[in-house]
Amino acid sequence: MTDEGISEKEIMQLEEFFNKGNEFPQVLRELLFLSGKFCNFLDYGIYDSQMEMQIEERKELLTLRGFSISRPHYFVCLASQGLPLFLYLDEGNNPDLYQISNHLTKESHSRNLGDSLKTLINHRIEKCKSGYNPF
């Protein structure tokens, strides 16, 4: 399958809903425009849209784990066995990636992976080019 993006209008709706109308970081806007509907290097799970994924993952975090993230954030990959990857929307144009912690506490709900979304995607592309599964 080929990567498939979403429209500028859809991106703006997501920004309105999840970032109080503020623009997303540049790397996230580019990702959504180029491959927001389908991406060979990120797992969007069973969801039919980015909007559905964001809403349902927030519900799941609250329902199953009794936790919600107070800062503006965006889930970007669900291929981590129930511990999705996300980024904070208030950390500049190429923010670090975080992963939901397996043992949530009020003090520690996630861990910084030390890499950006751009770095993760580039790494997965290289794995694929070398004949390996990108995940």
- Give per-residue pLDDT as tens, 41-78: 788 888 999 999 999 999 999 998 888 899 999 999 88
Query: Would 108 be classed as within a structural domain?
Result: yes
- Domain residue limits at 124: 8-129
Looking at residue 71, what is its pLDDT?
94
CA distance 84 to 100: 6
Mean pLDDT for the stretch of residues 18-38: 93
Query: Would 3 be classed as within a structural domain?
Result: no
List CB contacts of 92: < 8 A, sequence separation 6 or more.
25
Rg value, the chain, Cα: 14
Query: Would 49 be classed as within a structural domain?
Result: yes
Query: Would 31 be classed as within a structural domain?
Result: yes
CA distance 46 to 77: 12
- State phi, psi for 97 to the nearest 5 degrees: -90, 145
Query: Would 135 be classed as within a structural domain?
Result: no
Q: Tell me how many domains the chain contains.
A: 1
Query: Would 2 be classed as within a structural domain?
Result: no
Query: Would 134 be classed as within a structural domain?
Result: no
User: What is the pTM for the complete model shown?
Assistant: 0.89
Looking at residue 91, what is its pLDDT?
95
